[in-house]
Each structure stands twice: as C-alpha cells, then as structure tokens.
Structure 1
Amino acid sequence: MKLNLIAVCVSAFVLSSACTADGHDTSAEPKPASEFTQKANADVKQALPFSDKTDFENATRGFLAKPDTLTIKNADDQVVWDLEQYKTYISTDKASPDTVNPSLWRNAQLNMEYGLFEVMDGIYQVRGYDLSNITFVRGKKGWIVFDPLISPETAKAAKELLDEQFGERPVTAVIYSHSHLDHFGGVRGIVDEEDVKKGKVKIIASEGFTEHAVSENVIAGNAMGRRAVYMYGSLLPRNPQGGVNGGLGQTTSTGQGSLIAPTDYITETGQKMKVDGVEMVFQFTPGTEAPTEMNTWFPKMKALWMAENSTNTMHNVLTLRGAKVRDPLIWAAYLNETIEMWGDDAQVKFQSHHWPVWESDKIVDYLKKQRDIYKYIHDQSVRLMNQGYTGEEISEIIELPASLENNWATRGYYGTLRHNSRAVYQRYMGWYTGNPSDLNNLPPQQAAEKYVEYMGGAPALLRRAREDYNNGEYRWTAEVLKHLVFAEPDNKDAKNLLADSYEQLGYQAESGPWRSVYLQGALELRKGLPNAMALETASPDIIANMPVTMLFDYMGVRVLPEKAEGKEMVLNLNFEDLKESYSLMLENSVLNYTTNQVEEADATATLSKDTLNQIQLGKLSFDQAVADGKIKVKGDPQAFNDLLATLDNFDFWFNIVTP
C-alpha cells in the first residue's frame, strides 16, 4: 500500500511537487513563502518609513491596565473572543515573518496593544477586546458609552475592566456612532433594556440608524455573511501562515449581536445635547463610511470623536464582503467640514478603531490626509474613467502621491487603492465595461470549459501554469487556474496549484482583508467547504427591530418563482399591538404589500409583531401559533401556509472558489 501511494505521488510530481519520501501528500498543507514573495516583502521594508515610531507611542499612551490573558467566553463556555491565539506569534519584539507583508505585520503589532487606556481625563477606551474599540466618557452619574462592540460578552468584559480601575458606575447613555454591527452589537452586555424603557438610560443614534442597521444584516445578510468569512479570516489558523490582522483590528468576535432601539436621534450638524452632564455637539455625516453616521465634539474637553469616518488606515469605498458603494466625494467633504469646525481647537482625536492622535496641528495634518485619500481616489478614478479606462484598467494605473503613499494612516490595511478605484468606477458606470463582449458574456463555469479546451486541455494548462507559478507569476496563475477549477471541479492538482497561488498572494498582501480572502480561498480549495456554525445575520434582536414592511420585503426576496408560479392570493394581516393593518398580495410570482387593506381576502390573520418575528425566525410554525391562540384567522388558514411554502431558505455555506 505504501509503495502504491509513493507511485501515485511520483506520477503526479510534475504537477503537484507535493509528496514526502514516505508518500505523505503535502499538497493540502500551507507552503512557505516563495523566493518571489520574500523579495516582494523585503522591498516593502525598504519602501516605507519603518523608523517612524509615532504610532507605537500613540498606541501605548495613557495605558492603565490589562488582564494577563484575554479569552472571553459566553454562558455556554464557548469562546467568542481570544487574543491569546495571536499573542503566541505576534508581538512588538518579533520581526515580520517571510509569510506576512511587513506593513501589515506592523499594523497587527499596533492592534495587539490591548487593555484600558486614558484618552484624556474623563475619556477612556478599551482596545483589543473586539474588532472595534469601546469608549467610556465619565458623566455626573455614570458612564456614557460610545460603540459597545459586536458581542455582549466582549462589551461586558470591557466594562468589567473599567470597573476594576474606577469602581462600579452605571451606564447612563449609549451612543451608536453608526449603523454597522461592530458599533452596537454588544449593547445588551452593558445595558438592561428595562432601564432604557424606564428612561434611566438613553440610546442615541443618527437619523435612519435602525433602518440601516437591520437592513444590511437581513436583506442581503446571508451572502454578505458568507463573504465576511473570507474578508475577516474568521476560520483561518492563527499562525504566520494564516490569520494575522483584519486591518481595523485583529478580527471579529463571534457572539450573537444584539440591538436596543435608540431613544433619541441626531438629525443635523450642530445639534447639541447634554448627556449626564456632558456637553456634546454632533456632526451628522450620512453617506460616508456608513449610510448614517455622526461625529461628536466635546467642547469643554476639546476632544473630537470621529466615529469611523477617519481611522488609521485607508478605508473601504466598497467592502469586500459586499455593501452599497460609498461616496468618497461626500466623505471627503464631511472631513473638510470637520477640520473647519473643530480642527484648530481639538486637542485629541479618537475613534472607534485604532489609537488616538493628540495636539491640534497633528490632528489637522492627519485629517487633511484622511480627507485627501478619498478625494484623490475619487478624482483620479473619474479622470481615468473619462479617458475611457475600465475599472480593472484604472486599478492597474492609479498611484498615490508620495505624501499619501508614505503616510502610515492612509496605507491600505483595510480598503486598498486597487479595489477602491474600481468601486468609484462601479458607482458611476455600473458592472458593464462598455465592451460589447462583456454585455452578455458566458457565466464562469461555461466560459471555463471553453477556456480549458482552447488552452489544449487540463494537462497542458497545468504544465504551463506550473512554469508560470515557479516564475512567481501568481496573479496570472490565479487567473488561469480558476478556469480549470471551474471546468473540472474535481481536479485536485488544479485546486492545489490555485491554492498555492492564492497563498503567495495572501502572504504579499498589505491589506488584512485581502490576505484573509486569499488564504480562505486556499483553505477551501484544499479542505472543501467549512462545516462550522453558520453566521446568523438575522438575529432575534435584528428581526425584532425590523419594521413590518421590512419583514415583508425580506419575505419578498425569499419567494421561489417555481413554487409561486400560477398562484394568486390576498392575505390580510392585522397587528393588534401596532394598530397597523396590511394586505399581502402574491401574483406573478411577486409578493407585494399595501396598507390599503383589501376587503375580500382569502384569509385574515390577527396577530402581534412578535408572533410574526417568531415565525420568521423559525421558532414557531403558523399552525402552532393558531393552536396557541397567538393568531386568530378568518377564512382559510391553509392560505397562509401556502404562502409560507413558496419561501426559499438560504444556505450559508455556498461555493465561492469552486462552482
């Protein structure tokens, strides 16, 4: 048996070069950095100002306390956050390994500075407890919390660290800076919703917060969640050949995100509010890093909270997980407004990721470069677009001026110049390049079969790809081998060589998400689809905060045309708790709704919004709800089951790197 295995390996050696002397197949294991990757990473060390240690000084300034170890678990003893797995190989005294871009390694070292920090007297941050920071501002009676992380468990642990230093004080207010999960999901770890209902705790957010917070996590949540596995490297091993850094922080925690609806909204720039004795002035910045977002100025402390409108990295115009394309022109304009309003007065600038900057002249210089990175990407991408270049061509041409290229806080640890320039093109021009061959081109698998045929078949393609791989042409081998994998999904040699190509590209990537995407792709090519617990994007809190109309929209995107074909029905729903009534109409395989309730419906149901939530979450069937008296039906109750039977369920672990 051993001889046969060795024979198989020898026969495949030209293609895979992946067997040991005893016949062990190593093709599915991570590879070291190639000579080309080592050189590429060595060139980075020479190109950037690594001798500048200002960020390291700022990242450790004001340090107060930290636990010796940081592993946070939920009530079921499951780990939701574990910094220890990174501490085994990332520290400030270790040089970057060959398998990590030195600039990304530097960013990871900075993000590993965890614990409780004093921004200034009265403002404190706990960093390194999640992807984002949690900020505590001392009020007269308690703490005002800015952005309570992703998971209740991590937020609770951060508050406990604060309490150890200052003694227990209640949370009197929570401010959500914007509508992304890492800025509100941990709220139930520090706040009891009953205290919010009783008026003991304010929840403050910008106008449109709830709508945007829930819509991004539900309507397209399944696809975004699957791609987020790639973007954040959540399943990658924690070692120098695996996960290193997410750009904004190490990675995301894995608790179940929560949400308590805001009690107060900020609707315009200049709006003032005194919260637990602390004066604040808000800058409303919709359409920047999030659809709704706001910065905060503390006039008495001369402190400027920048939410996520400025971080110590180039941010995303379009995230790799998927989202609506952001407007870098508006983003830059709001940053300019910030400079004009408070730049000269600000003594400290801090935000929901990374570390602060102190002193007004340094803050203004920092904010100008943040402003200009987005304005430059916009203006130069549009200039090239107007010369007839496509998004792919623009990403290959565009370069930053030296003042932005050599500035650490505008390096591409999260967003990148390449994919942000493509995003600008997409915002203006859409998916179509203008070339007629792209108008109705073949889908990947069909095109792949023809590509492989034209290239002389799999063996010829593999031989040439191996030669190009050995010459360090990883971008090309990644391009050509994807066709062979899509044409022959069971071709192990093709998958392994493609994985090797992705791996080297990941090792060279400066962007944390780019590294994660490449290495997760390599992992799935070698090991197959993960069988880990699927991400729950439509969590109970998210569903509970969705308006009824948004739930209906979510049902609409789940309608299976083949099951709805030829069916016509009208169903009335009366929500006794909301005092709202609707008609649902299924026809032409489309689900519509209206508040102008139809008089003659196939059936009418009277229920509460919570009952509909439980049905949507799969915790309660329609028939059981009727039996329990939670739904009262007039007409044919089977009509509701007929509608529910048309709805599709989404498989989280869909294929990405294979057809």
Structure 2
Amino acid sequence: MTIKPTLQAGSQDGFIGREKLIAHSEEFRPRVVQVTNGVYVAIGYSASNVTLIAGRGGSIIVDTAANPVDAKAIVEAFGSHLVRPVKAIIYTHNHPDHTGGATVFAGDDSPGIYSHALLQSATPSMGRGQRDGGDAFGMHLPAEDFINAGTQLEYGRTTPHTRQGFLPPTNTFDGDEKPITIAGIALHLISTPGEADDNISVWLPEQKLLIAGDVLLKTFPNIAPLRGLPTRPVDQWITSLDKLLLLEPDFIVPGHMGVIENAAEARNALTAYRDAIKFVYEKTMEGIARGMTPEELVQQINLPEELAQHPYLQEFYGTVAWSIRGIYCQNAGWFDGNPTNIWPLPAKERAEKLVALSGGSAKMLENAEAALAGGEFQWAAEQADYLLDLEPGNRAAITVKMKALRELGERQMNATARNYYLSVANTLKARSLQDSDGLRHPA
C-alpha cells in the first residue's frame, strides 16, 4: 500500500485545479470526426457522443443524444454522411443523456432499437434529491460560476434532458455477447457493465473499432457518484475492461469526449483504466481486512505516479477518495469499526458541547472567521456547521459557510464537486438575502 499524505481533489493549493478544469472543456468542442471509413462521431453537440455507421443502403446510429433538440443539431452536422433509412439504433445504456433523441434519428424509418435486456429494467434516475440546493451538474449555476460537468460541457443547462425522444428497445439480448449484421455491417454487442449495469460496447471486428459506451471515459471513473447513487460494481467493471483489452482495437469511441485513433493509445488507455480501478479496489479491500477506517484509507491510498498522471485518470468526474468510501461501504457497511461511532451523539448535541468548549457561539464564530481569513476553508465551513446546527438562521455563520464553500469550489478540479460547492453557496446567499428582507424567519 502506498502510504503518504494526500491532497484530495480541491485541496487548498491555489487555483491549479480550476485551470485544469477550464482546459478540460476543450474536450467538448463541437465537431464531427471521421474515425475510419464509414464511421463518424458527433462530439460536443450534446451531453454524450453520437456515432453514425454508414451501411449498405442505410445507416446505424449508436446512442442518440440527450434530447430531440440536440439530436436535430447532430443530424444537421452529419449532413450527407447520414443516409436514410436509419436501419438500426443501438443504445449503449439507459442513461438519459444517451437515449433522449431517438425519435429524431428514427424519423419515419422504423429502425430496430437494440440494447441489453437490462436496459428495460434500468432506472434512468440521476440520483437522489440533494440538500441545501446542492447540484452536482450545476444546471442552475450562473454562467460566471459554471465551467463544465466533467464528462460533458453542460448537463441540461440549455436544453433539458427529456424522455420525450426515447424509443423502447425492440431487440434485446441477455447474455455476454450478441453478434449481428445490420446493413451489411458485422457487429458484436458485448455486455460491459461498469458505470451502468446495462452498458454494452459495440465492436466492429472488420474495422477493429470499439464503441465503448461509458465503461471508458477521459476522466477518473465515477465509481461512487457524489449526487447519490449506489456504488458501481467495481469487480464487474474490471472484468469488462479485461474483455475489451482482448479485442485489441485500433479505434475507440467513448460515450463522451474525444476518440482514440490508434492501437497503441487504445491499449494504453484501457490498461490504465483497468489498472487504476483494480488498484483502488484491491488496496481498499486490503485495508478493510486490516481493520482500517475509511478516513485512514482515504489518506493513505494514492494511485502510483504513472497512473496519477495519466490523461484518462484525471479527477474531473470521479475521484479516488470517493471511490474508496464507496467501495468500503459497499463491502464493509457503514460502521468504521470504532465503537464510539456505534451510537454517536446527535449533531445538535455534539455542536452544543463543541461550541461550549470553544468558549461559546461568539468565540466559535470568531474562530471560523479567522480560519476563513487564513485560508483554512474546510475548517471554517465545519465550524459554521456547528453554529448552524444550533441556530439554523445564524446569518453570520451562514455568511462564513457561504464564503468557505465558494473558496473550496473555486479550487476544484472535479466538476461535480465544484458545482455542488458553488450551488450550495449560492443557495445560502439567496437565503441570507431573503432573511435580511424579512421574507424568511429562522426556524
């Protein structure tokens, strides 16, 4: 196990994380890329990529964008490359950013709609409701606060994701693989669970081209999403990547961001992705077996340098720390092994005691403001929370928390964390303004 202090995503070491996230937006520049003969990918026109495969007497579409508005823009961008009729639409998985524009591509062509059988039982929910106005996708952040959403330039900010353009599958399979031929094109639909249980990868053996879905993205995988979803099945994700490595693709089209256009880069990206997920999983399981707590594991598990620096493993969407926490809870449950935490004090009672120890509310507020001024933004936010546990309407504490969250958010490399910090900060600011106008009263 690698043991050293770790700076997590969003550490207080200046604004380098934000600058990296800004640079990452180049991945979402709208363009149509010809990957190889007869295969075109529309990148950046919607939340996810759409692939066009030119077949004999018609076309095949893999994934359909987030909504009909985006899908119409992609049809226009494809131009003469899109030859009707569309013979088939293939969903790599059920996430709404991949399935929302099918009606536009189908038109009057009545294509077969292909997916894994699990897609029909998959829930397209994007996570639980989030408290205090937190929004991991930043859908309602003002333009000056928003950079991107990690795997896409924006998620529902301009045109909402809808199910209006979804078409239900007409052809499904429930095994590991299904070979088919459509419009003279040989395809293999391969079950590759990872980010989604129903994810399939589409393999074109003659072209040695892999359309991976969301099992490979140019960001550290979102194994344990901040927005509130079950931890993804890490062991299955590793198996999926092993399966894809055996194909030895020359080209890879991921579900988001740019394509890979040579065999060496394809093998390198798949191998690094597999190795990073496996490393975090195995080190976390080793730590669990040794009785270590999630906090200890988060501080002590770091990717080896060659993986930490890999372009496909930068923490724009998922993070190592969140993955560790998710894997721990998934395999060892909520209890960290410390008996003090079997029946912890209620938050309000703990806050009362800590505030008293600090010398009272005024003194803790003074300490929180000093922490904020000294760049200890996390500690400032935590002290503000203790005060708010006792006085939810304490405007001075709300101000400290709001400013601390904004400082933390502005230092983020991880898009979902940035968006969550800043959306809560803006909610607190709005609440404070309402209180000052007498429109709200503290509980």
Q: Structure 2-normalised TM-score?
A: 0.89
1:285–1:456 distance in 2 versus 1, CA, 3 Å: same
Aligned to 2:438: none
Q: 1:290, 1:146 → 2: CA distance?
A: 16
Distance (Å, rounded) in 2 between the aligned partners of 1:129 and 1:529: 38
Pair 1:260-2:182 in alignment: no
Q: Does 1:459 align with 2:384?
A: no
1:129–1:472 Cα change, 3 Å: same
Separation in 2, partners of 1:227, 1:134: 35
Distance, in Å, in 2 between the alignment partners of 1:252 and 1:158 is 17
Within the candidate set 514, 519, 536, 2:417 is matched to: 514
2:77 to 161, 165, 169: 161
Q: Deviations over 1:281-314 (max 9, x none)?
A: 122123x111211111101211111111001111
Aligned position for 1:351? 254
What letter corresponds to residue 126 of structure 1 in structure 2? Answer: A
Equivalent pair of 2:61/2:88 in contact (CA under 8 Å):
yes
Distance in 1 of aligned mates of 2:12 and 2:170: 55
Is contact 2:133–2:423 with CA below 8 Å preserved after alignment? Answer: no
Q: Would you say 1:269 and 2:176 are equivalent positions? A: yes
Distance 2:424 2:82 in 1: 47
Q: Which amino acid aligns with 1:105?
A: I
Q: Sequence identity, in percent?
A: 26
Shift of 1:507: 1.4
22, 40, 49: which one aligns with 2:13: 40
Look up the equivalent residue of 2:223 and give its one-letter code: V
2:401–2:425: 8 Å Cα contact kept in structure 1? yes
Select 1:212's aligned residue among 122, 133, 154.
Answer: 122
Structure 2 residue matching 1:296: 3-state secondary structure: strand
Residues 486-507 of structure 1: per-residue CA shift (max 9 Å, x gap): 3212111111111111111111
1:425 is the counterpart of 2:328: yes
Structure 2 partner of 1:338: 244
Match of 1:134 among 36, 44, 50: 50
Give the superposition deviation at 1:391. Answer: 1.5
Match for residue 64 of structure 2 among 125, 148, 161: 148
- What amino acid maps onto 2:237 in structure 1? W
Structure 1's 184 and 347: CA in aligned 2 closer, same or farther, altered over 3 A? same
Q: Does 1:310 align with 2:283?
A: no
Measure how far apart 1:529 and its partner are. Answer: 10
| 8 A contact 2:54–2:83 mirrored in 1 | no
Q: Deviations over 1:131-151 (max 9, x none)?
A: 211111112233211111221
Residue identity matched to 2:121: E
Given the two structures, how large is their TM-score scaled by the length of structure 1? 0.61
Map 1:473-622; keep pairs closer than 5 Å: 473-528=376-431
| Shift in Å, 1:210 | 1.2
Which residue of 1 is the match for residue 4 of structure 2? none
Paired position in structure 1 for 2:32: 116
Q: 1 CA distance for matches of 2:196 and 2:302? A: 26
Distance 1:116 1:144 in 2: 16
Match of 1:296 in 2: 202
**Counterpart in the other structure of 2:105:** 190
Aligned to 2:85: 170
C-alpha distance in structure 2 between counterparts of 1:186 and 1:227, whole Å: 32
Distance 1:444 1:120, change over 3 A: farther
Q: Which residue matches 2:136?
A: 231
**What per-residue deviation string (whole Å, max 9, x for no partner) do you get for residues 258-293 of structure 1?**
33211111322342001222110122123x111211
Partner of 1:325: 231
User: 2:242 & 2:284 partners in 1: Cα distance?
Assistant: 20
Q: In structure 1, what is the Cα distance between the partners aligned to 2:420 and 2:22?
A: 17
The one of 268, 292, 307 equivalent to 1:365 is 268
The one-letter code sitting in structure 2 at the alignment partner of 1:144 is I
Task: Name the amino acid aligned to 1:334.
Answer: S
Amino acid at match of 1:108: S
C-alpha distance in structure 2 between counterparts of 1:167 and 1:178, whole Å: 22
AA of the residue aligned to 2:245: I
- SS in structure 2 of the partner of residue 358 of structure 1: coil
Contact 2:31–2:44 under 8 Å retained in 1: yes
Residue type of the alignment partner of 2:288? M
Say if 1:227 and 1:321, in contact at 8 Å, map to a contact too: no
| Contact residue 181 and residue 213 of structure 1 kept, 8 A | no
Q: Write out per-residue CA displacement over residues 1-40 of structure 1, whole angstroms, 9 at most, x where no aligned residue.
A: xxxxxxxxxxxxxxxxxxxxxxxxxxxxxxxxxxxx9982
Q: Distance in 1 between the 2:345 and 2:30 partners?
A: 49
Instruction: Answer yes or no: is the 8 Å Cα contact 1:140–1:277 preserved in 2.
Output: yes
Q: What is the distance in 2 between the residues matched to 1:308 and 1:109? A: 19
* Residue 148 to residue 229, structure 1, CA distance change in 2 (3 Å): farther
**Secondary structure, counterpart of 2:366 in structure 1:** helix
> Of the candidates 142, 165, 185, which is equivalent to residue 278 of structure 1?
185
Match in the other structure for 2:23: 106
User: Which of 383, 387, 402 is the equivalent residue of 2:305?
Assistant: 402
Between the two structures, name the one with larger relative contact order (CA 8 Å, sep ≥ 6): 2
Contact 2:180 2:187 survives alignment (8 Å): yes
User: Structure 1: 5+ residue runs without aligned partners?
Assistant: 1-36, 45-99, 532-657
Which has the higher mean CA deviation after the structures are superposed, 179-188 or 301-310? 179-188
Do 1:41 and 1:102's aligned partners in 2 also have CA atoms closer than 8 Å? no
Query: CA–CA distance in 1 between the matches of 2:74 and 2:327?
Result: 38
CA contact (8 A) 2:75 2:82 kept: no
Tell me the secondary structure at the aligned position of residue 202 of structure 2: strand
Kept after mapping to 1: 8 A contact 2:291/2:337: no
What's the offset of the Cα at 1:153? Answer: 1.4
Cross-structure match for 1:251: 154
SS of corresponding position for 2:60: strand
Inter-CA distance 237–454: structure 2 relative to 1 (3 Å threshold): same
CA distance in 2, matches of 1:529, 1:115: 43
Query: Counterparts of 1:128 and 1:225 in 2: how far apart (Å)?
Result: 27
Kept in 2, the 8 Å contact 1:177–1:295? The answer is yes
Q: What is the distance in 2 between the residues matched to 1:104 and 1:134?
A: 23
Question: Larger deviation: 301-310 or 388-397?
Answer: 388-397
CA apart distance, 1:334:
1.6
Q: How far off its partner does 1:224 sit? A: 4.3
Aligned to 1:588: none
Secondary structure of the structure 1 residue equivalent to 2:21: helix
The residue number in structure 1 matching 2:3 is none
Give the direction of change, closer, same or farther, for the CA distance of 1:168–1:409 in structure 2 (3 Å limit). same
Cα distance in structure 2, aligned partners of 1:134 and 1:528? 41
CA contact (8 A) 1:314 1:409 kept: yes
Shift of 1:406: 0.9
| C-alpha contact 1:171 1:201 (8 A) present in aligned 2 | yes
1:411 Cα deviation after fit? 0.9
CA distance in 2, matches of 1:490, 1:497: 13
Q: State the structure with more CA Rg.
A: 1
